[in-house]
Amino acid sequence: MNVAERLGLVNRPRRLRSSAAMRGLVRETRVNRDGLVQPLFIVDGKNIVQPISSMPGVSRLSVDAAVRECRELDDAGVKAVLLFGIPDFKDAIATSNYDPNGVVQRAASAIKDALPHMLVIADLCNCEYTDHGHCGIIGPDGDVDNDASVELLVKTALTYARAGIDCVAPSDMMDGRVGAIRQALDAEGFIKTTIMSYAAKYASGFYGPFREAADSTPSFGDRRTYQMDPANGREALREVALDIAEGADIVMVKPALAYMDLIRRVRDACDVPVACYNVSGEYAMVKAAAQRGWIEEERIVDEMLTGFARAGADIIITYFAKEYLKRNA
């Protein structure tokens, strides 16, 4: 019999849950408020705010509207935005993506002029800019040509850096793109431009609302030859290791909710910052259920973001960033 048993002592973990103050005192995990990133969808035009039906509360914004939104985000405490462009013109080789006067390039310049301290990240992919909706150039075999697509990404990354973007975020899952982008940025003197790689991006059903938002649904086939099989975990660690070796400053797991085991495994396997993307389908499910009164939205959002942080995410990209920070000011 041990001392506690002899003295009749009872273990009472509930003492540490007895009040809000006590629970706060001993709380193990806290969401990194400075690490919340708000995605924005940018379109051509002026004074445009186009609500996205499958993502309540999220809209496509023209450049001027995006600047106004960034001022509100700044007031709420959001310190970083992730830009996606939806151009008026699309073709087979994503010409609008690397146009120095493209929607993302103009939005980045305008945001940095208005709010120099705000961190501007640009998603780097081709799917929103191709008329076929795939993430690169289609080769003669009908599949995406990896190396030709990397060349497009490099051209675009340079126009982003010239526009003042702080961080480029390649999301295409082409082999070797991080190294090619890093080499090109460094060669032009953009040694401070950060690369946040979508290192483990899965071919997921959680992207549906995003494809409405970005008008990027493939016109044929799917993306399973370049995005990852949801069943694979070890492969994610290999992809992460390759991207870090090629120069990625930050690595990302996408989606987040069904992949928290991968967030933890990536966190344990590397020493660079780890991001996760709380994607459109995850957002839409919460919003839809809350609108029907089936769940308490604020509690669910708090649990999700805390879960991502507990799994090991330093950075959380989420459409809930603004409202979470306003509510937890």
Torsion of CA 30, 32, 33, 34, to 10 degrees: 160
Geometric angle at alpha carbon 191, from 70 and 107, rounded to 5°? 25
What is d(CA 276, CA 265) in angstroms, rounded to the nearest whole number?
A: 13
147: which residues sit within 8 A by CB, 6+ positions away?
Answer: 176
HEC profile for 76-93?
HCCCEEEEEEECCCCECC
Beta carbons within 10 angstroms of residue 158's beta carbon: 20
Work out the angle between the directed axes of helices 297-311 and 280-291 (0-180°, nearest 10). 150
The pair of three-digit structure tokens given for residue 327, joined into one six-digit string: 């509510």
Which residues are known to be catalytic?
A: 201, 254
Work out the angle between the directed axes of helices 103-114 and 146-162 (0-180°, nearest 10). 30
Q: Tokens 């849950």 belong to which residue?
A: 17
* Bridge partner residues of 130 (DSSP): 91
